[in-house]
Amino acid sequence: MEPTSFFSENNPTLFPIEMNVDIADYLQCAFQALKKDPGIFDAITNDLDQHALERKRERLTEAEWVRRQTLELCLECPGSDSVGGELTLGTGRPRMGAEEVYLFILLRGYLSSVTDRQACERIRDSITVRAFYNNQFSGKTIPARSTIHENIQAVSMETRERILALQQRMVLEEGLDDFSELTLDSTAVRANSVWPSESGIIRDLLERAFHRSQLLNRRYFVPNLMPWYVPQWLKEVRKCHFAISTASGKGANRKRRKQYQRLYNKAGKVISHLQSELGKHREGHYGAILKPSLEARLRKDLSSIEAALNTAEEVIAYSVERICNGNSVPYSEKVISLSDGSAAMIIKGDREPVIGYRPQVCRSRNGFVTALHVPEGNAADSPQLYSMVLKSIQNTNTVPESVSTDDGYSSGTGFELVKSIPGIKKVSLSGAKGKRLITEEDWFSEDLSELRRNRSAVESLIFVLKYVFNFGRVRRRGIEAVRQELMEKAIAYNFMRMVHLRTERRKQIPLVA
């Protein structure tokens, strides 16, 4: 790639020196986008303000609680904010500005993280990032990673989607794509979780509940739940899990069944005892005199203990049904992950099952992500067809002439809804299911045959997303956090795609002597 100079008389530069790295081109392109929609900074600022107001409300609630617990000799100071009234932000400690937050959203999409050790070292050792800071924030240092994380998390998903829509407007204005052709596909993304086993899930749930029950006094100055024989029972549960996991050879199924029955017995004793103790202590725990923040955390911990015990009972119930009674249990009724309750078992055709998510991706002809959605669970593709096409039209402000998908999206309702959108002339559904919805004349027409041949292009997009932008496995947990992470990676990919097509366009311009 040729060195890129960012000096310009009419355009303030991001970098005071000549850069020859992809990340410099990436950041240059991303900040140029803001000229098309400066309101993105306002949206980020508004998100940060809302987060700051929520934090201020928490502080005022704490102060009000302390005031009520102490004997005051004077009335409340005039002009002070009221917890119940409308809050306003005053002049406090300096915080990250919208431009800085935007920068780290871009870096997290590009590097997959801005908080782990490798990403932090890469950012702090980057000449590009240091040059940006020296040029844009004279004398300012890169914030601590906890500060970066808190501010990035305050930015709403709507703001991220606005950035994705802004990219489409840039692409259209520069003629990098006309969005006349749209291809849809879904893919399996691995969650930040290990492969589940029923014995391991039961063990982990019980150990989580017991561990938290023994931290109540240290954290909240309330009595812990009485341990009684729970440590010994948990030790037996761990032994059973180990024996189940390592059973092999002749008679392995019989050995596993015997160990599972022993595990059910010991786990049932743990659940029964802790539930009894929780019932005895609940009233006293909820009546403890604690600061509002501590009280909220105590209630959350007690609820998590109760939820862990109830979930363990559910797992034992369907495990008995499978192990002892020989009946299969649908994945939708199973606990798939303890670390990420939003993850699901994703099964696509004959491929290896994945614990994770199933994002829906729209691709334009020249390889841009025009829409992205992560549904909950292992959602079928067919109900997503119409909504994804509408989302792509909204982001690009362009109605495609043709829409192409595989037979997973085949449904009579979705097919007719997409065909009814004014401006869409061709809708191609591959596979046997799609063929049943399309007339024989249309199926063998040159236009639909060409769309079916070109549909595999979306596979190359997903390959690049997965293996270049780490789209294939998420770091964060929970559906909302995963949606943010995958959206940031799609944004990073689109900006890099714009940089690539601009470079290719410049190469095609003949040199003038």
How many Cα atoms within 13 Å fall on the side-chain side of residue 430?
16
Q: Which tens digit of pLDDT belongs to each residue from 472-503? A: 999 999 999 999 999 999 999 999 999 999 99
Closest Cα to residue 89, out of 53, 55, 137? 53
* Cα–Cα distance measured from residue 200 to residue 198, given in angstroms and rounded to the nearest whole number: 5
**What's the pTM value of the predicted model, to 2 decimals?**
0.88
What pLDDT, on the 0 to 100 scale, is given for residue 92? 64
What pLDDT, on the 0 to 100 scale, is given for residue 6? 38
Q: Which tens digit of pLDDT belongs to each residue from 211-269? A: 999 999 999 989 999 999 999 999 999 999 999 999 988 889 999 999 999 999 999 99
* Cα–Cα distance measured from residue 209 to residue 276, given in angstroms and rounded to the nearest whole number: 13
Q: Percent of the chain at pLDDT above 70?
A: 91
What pLDDT, on the 0 to 100 scale, is given for residue 46? 94
**How far is residue 391 from each of residues 157, 367, 399, 435, measured CA to CA in Å?**
15, 17, 11, 25
What is the arithmetic mean of pLDDT over 193-209?
93
Mean pLDDT of the chain: 87
Q: Which tens digit of pLDDT belongs to each residue from 79-111? A: 455 555 677 776 666 678 899 999 999 999 999
Closest Cα to residue 149, out of 119, 114, 118? 114
pLDDT at 136 over 60: yes
Residue 32 · residue 102 · CB < 8 Å: no
pLDDT at 15 over 60: no
Q: Which tens digit of pLDDT belongs to each residue from 381-426? A: 889 999 999 999 999 999 999 999 988 888 889 999 999 999 999 9
Q: Which tens digit of pLDDT belongs to each residue from 312-323? A: 999 999 999 999
Confidence category of residue 1, pLDDT binned at 50, 70, 90 = very low
Structure tokens at 296: 């909220």
* Cα–Cα distance measured from residue 360 to residue 190, given in angstroms and rounded to the nearest whole number: 14
How many Cα atoms within 13 Å fall on the side-chain side of residue 83?
13
